[in-house]
């Protein structure tokens, strides 16, 4: 078998395998993750992953009674209840039972959709994720947050539903467009800010190497981020405490995505969101100027956005009120007390929020 790293955890979450060439070994890996009871498999994939998914289907066909394929719309347009309904229909018409399973191949939009479809079908069938974007590898495929958007906002419907396993094949990044790679990298950068400055140091030392999927630095960053996500979500699957810290930059980030009708990449919106909370922390005396400026500097080094139009504030503020961390009318933000020390800021004054927004407004 190809050389790979297996990260195990306690609880319902399956192992995370990280390596190269793993997709071509799914006929050996999948039965180990799913057990030998599975008869039917539904492969859910994005249009861009059509050829890879067809190869996977051919590889797995001798192992299962039936391997079904479902291509879903690209990117965020997959995260709609109507697309889950399309998958429910395929499963219903195939007599898909609790001994059958879903295999998701693609970015975070697909793992979120397929994860929720698995959680909801018959109240739960097994799911294995094969993430093919940096974002999905370090974040979306791990930890069991699944869901879809509604007209009112991002990820408003979903479930906590850990996968039976995650197969991270670094070879699958070969054709990922640079913009997807860099914007998805934001979630690894987030881990640098909230948990381990080694990620920040590696980016500052050489941003090109840090974001090159063939470099040692990239692999090291991926491993730190994956281990951290697995640890935090195993300790607090349902976000009663520590897991909230993974939402660093997301309160404003999600509002920007919504305001842009999902034409902005998730990672790009979170990049602006992280700069916003860094300014919030600086203005409230939690972060030093140097620590807040480090956010802007690193985001710029990576070519990520750091600004958003001034006139959008009223809309963003009202959308943020539907953030899952809000309690009643009280907004809550993940901020830093120092690099690696995240905390919750409860009900900040609207004038403070506006002042922080002024710092990032274009």
List active site positions. Answer: 123, 145, 187, 229, 239, 243, 247, 250, 254, 266
Q: Which residues contact 309 (CB under 8 A, 6 or more apart)?
A: 361, 362
Q: d(Cα 303, Cα 192) in Å, to the nearest integer? A: 17
Q: Which residues contact 217 (CB under 8 A, 6 or more apart)?
A: 202, 205, 206, 209, 210
Q: How far is the CB of 74 from ligand LNCXM5UN (least distance, A)?
A: 18
Lay out the site mask for ligand LNCXM5UN across 75-114 (x = CB under 6 A, - = otherwise): ----------------------------------------
Q: Check binding of 79 to ligand NAD (CB under 6 A).
A: yes
109 a known binding residue?
yes
Question: Which of the listed partners (ligand LNCXM5UN, ligand NAD, none) does 247 bind, with a CB threshold of 5 to 8 Å by partner kind?
Answer: ligand LNCXM5UN
Sheet strands (E) in the chain: 4-7, 16-19, 40-45, 66-71, 101-106, 126-131, 145-150, 153-160, 165-169, 332-338, 341-346
76 a known binding residue?
yes
Which of 81, 85, 121, 126 has its CA nearest to residue 103? 126
Q: d(Cα 255, Cα 273) in Å, to the nearest integer? A: 9
Number of H helices, E strands in the chain: 14, 11
37 a known binding residue?
no
Q: Check binding of 246 to ligand LNCXM5UN (CB under 6 A).
A: yes
By CB under 6 A, the residues from 232 to 271 that bind ligand NAD are 265-267
Q: How far is the CB of 112 from ligand NAD (least distance, A)?
A: 5
Q: Check binding of 163 to ligand NAD (CB under 6 A).
A: no
Q: Check binding of 162 to ligand NAD (CB under 6 A).
A: no
Q: Check binding of 195 to ligand LNCXM5UN (CB under 6 A).
A: no
Of 143 and 348, CB closest to ligand NAD: 143
Of 19 and 253, CB closest to ligand LNCXM5UN: 253
Q: Check binding of 13 to ligand NAD (CB under 6 A).
A: no
CA distances from 182 to 19, 91, 178, 285, 303 (A): 20, 35, 6, 31, 8
Find where tokens 């040692």 sit: 216
Question: Which of the listed partners (ligand LNCXM5UN, ligand NAD, none) does 306 bind, with a CB threshold of 5 to 8 Å by partner kind?
Answer: none
Question: Which of the listed partners (ligand NAD, ligand LNCXM5UN, none) does 296 bind, with a CB threshold of 5 to 8 Å by partner kind?
Answer: none
Q: d(Cα 143, Cα 232) in Å, to the nearest integer? A: 8
Q: How far is the CB of 233 from ligand LNCXM5UN (least distance, A)?
A: 6
Of 33 and 246, CB closest to ligand NAD: 246
Which run of H or of E encompasses 84? helix 81-93
Of 76 and 187, CB closest to ligand LNCXM5UN: 187
Q: How far is the CB of 203 from ligand NAD (least distance, A)?
A: 18
Backbone φ, ψ for residue 261 (5° rounding) = 50, 40
Gyration radius (Cα) of the chain, Å: 20
Give strand pairing partners of 70.
44
154 a known binding residue?
yes
Which token pair is 226?
């994956």
Phi-psi region of 249 (alpha: psi -120 to 50; beta: other; left: phi over 0): left
Of 51 and 330, CB closest to ligand NAD: 51
Q: What is the DSSP string of 266-281?
A: HHHHHHHHHHHHHHHH
Name the residues that contact ligand NAD, by CB under 6 A: 46, 48-49, 74-76, 79, 106-110, 112, 132-133, 135-136, 139-140, 143, 145, 155, 172-173, 175-176, 180, 184, 187, 265-267
Query: Which residues carry a binding-site annotation?
Result: 74-79, 108-112, 132-133, 145, 154, 187, 250, 266
Name the residues that contact ligand LNCXM5UN, by CB under 6 A: 139, 143, 145, 154-155, 187, 239, 243, 246-247, 250, 324
């Amino acid at each position: 078998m190809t050389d790979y790293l297996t990260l195990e955890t306690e609880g319902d979450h399956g192992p995370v395998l990280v390596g190269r060439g793993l997709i071509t070994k799914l006929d050996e890996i999948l039965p180990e993750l799913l057990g030998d009871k599975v008869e039917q498999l539904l492969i859910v994939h994005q249009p861009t992953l059509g050829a890879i998914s067809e190869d996977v289907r051919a590889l797995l066909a001798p192992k299962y009674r039936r391997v079904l394929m479902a291509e879903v719309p690209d990117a965020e347009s997959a995260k709609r209840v109507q697309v889950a309904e399309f998958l429910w229909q395929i499963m219903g018409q195939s007599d898909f039972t609790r001994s059958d399973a879903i295999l998701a191949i693609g970015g975070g939009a697909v793992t979120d959709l397929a994860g929720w479809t698995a959680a909801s079908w018959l109240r739960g069938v097994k799911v294995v994720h094969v993430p093919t974007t940096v974002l999905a590898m370090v974040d979306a495929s791990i930890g069991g947050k699944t869901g879809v958007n509604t007209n009112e906002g991002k990820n408003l419907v979903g479930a906590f539903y850990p996968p039976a396993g995650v197969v991270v094949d670094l070879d699958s990044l070969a054709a990922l467009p640079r913009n997807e790679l860099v914007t998805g990298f934001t979630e690894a950068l987030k881990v640098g800010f909230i948990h381990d400055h080694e990620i920040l140091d590696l980016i500052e030392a050489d941003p090109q190497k840090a974001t090159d999927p063939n470099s040692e630095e990239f692999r090291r960053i991926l491993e730190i981020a994956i281990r951290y996500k697995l640890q935090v979500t195993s300790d607090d699957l349902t976000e009663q405490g520590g897991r909230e810290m993974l939402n660093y930059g997301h309160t404003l980030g999600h509002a920007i995505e919504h305001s842009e009708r999902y034409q902005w990449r998730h990672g790009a919106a979170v990049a602006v969101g992280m700069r916003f909370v860094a300014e919030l922390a600086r203005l409230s005396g939690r972060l030093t100027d140097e620590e807040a400026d480090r956010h802007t500097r690193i985001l710029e080094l990576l070519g990520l956005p750091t600004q958003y139009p001034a006139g959008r504030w009223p809309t963003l503020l009202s959308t943020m009120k539907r953030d899952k961390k809000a309690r009643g009318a009280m907004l809550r933000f993940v901020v830093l007390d120092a690099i690696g020390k995240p905390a919750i800021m409860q009900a900040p004054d609207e004038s403070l929020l506006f002042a922080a927004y002024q710092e990032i407004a274009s």
